[in-house]
Structure 1
């Protein structure tokens, strides 16, 4: 029996993000007041303090900003994935997100695109792969 990937239970704030993953859509909030993309999901914009956040679908394309290669699994679900990389990705839309790359480790500056790992409850976990 394989372990399932550790993912948080959706909160009232993050539920739209997780619902979009069911359709393989990467989404983030955008502040309608200052136009900033907001990651991680929040109730208020961390830049200007406004509550006017709307969800926006992103391309899922970006560039690796930083990478850390893990040779020991941080969780039993990752045991068959080592080595894997924890990455910071600068998305084409201007936001930065932390995720994983499974397979050969990327290098800083590599172009990546979102990939999806199915979860038992119909959601999908966004990861990235080198283009």
Structure 2
């Protein structure tokens, strides 16, 4: 089981995810959301930030389905999908994850032929707080 590696800038993301909330770091001065989290706003250079809750809704912007050979720890799980999701309420934010049938479903729980660019998805969280994605209309 993978667990997140945190740093001081990104730790709040994982703390909120463990509570079932998808939040993104936002500049407290200009209001621009940013991901990955970092100390300084790339738009106005402010060091002030806040964590804004999102709806958790998005759309599949891109995806790939890796097949073996992979790193040994992943080979037995393949094939599985990796999606890039563009958030609905922060369209410049794109998050990487897996498209699954439910929060604790295995990585291969959704058939690859069901994945479409532009498909509407909703953030779901597994028991470790890992953000995953489920189709809004399965």
For residue 118 of structure 1, give the secondary structure of its aligned residue in structure 2: coil
1: CA distance, partners of 2:84 / 2:11: 23
- Counterparts in 2 of 1:1-131, with a 5 A limit? 4-8=1-5, 10-72=6-68, 74=71, 76=73, 79-80=76-77, 82-94=78-90, 95-101=93-99, 102=107, 103-105=110-112, 106-119=115-128, 124-131=129-136
Unaligned runs of 5+ in 1: none
1:116 to partner: Cα distance: 1.6
Count of residue correspondences: 122
Query: CA deviation digits over 1:71-120, x for unaligned, max 9?
Result: 2355626733x32221111111122212222422311010011122223x
2: CA distance, partners of 1:17 / 1:52: 16
Query: CA deviation digits over 1:46-92, x for unaligned, max 9?
Result: 22211111001111110111111112355626733x32221111111
Question: Once superposed, what is the RMSD of the aligned Cα atoms?
Answer: 1.9
Q: TM-score, normalised by structure 2?
A: 0.78
Q: TM-score, normalised by structure 1?
A: 0.81
Unaligned runs of 5+ in 2: 100-106
Change (3 A) 1:100 1:19: same
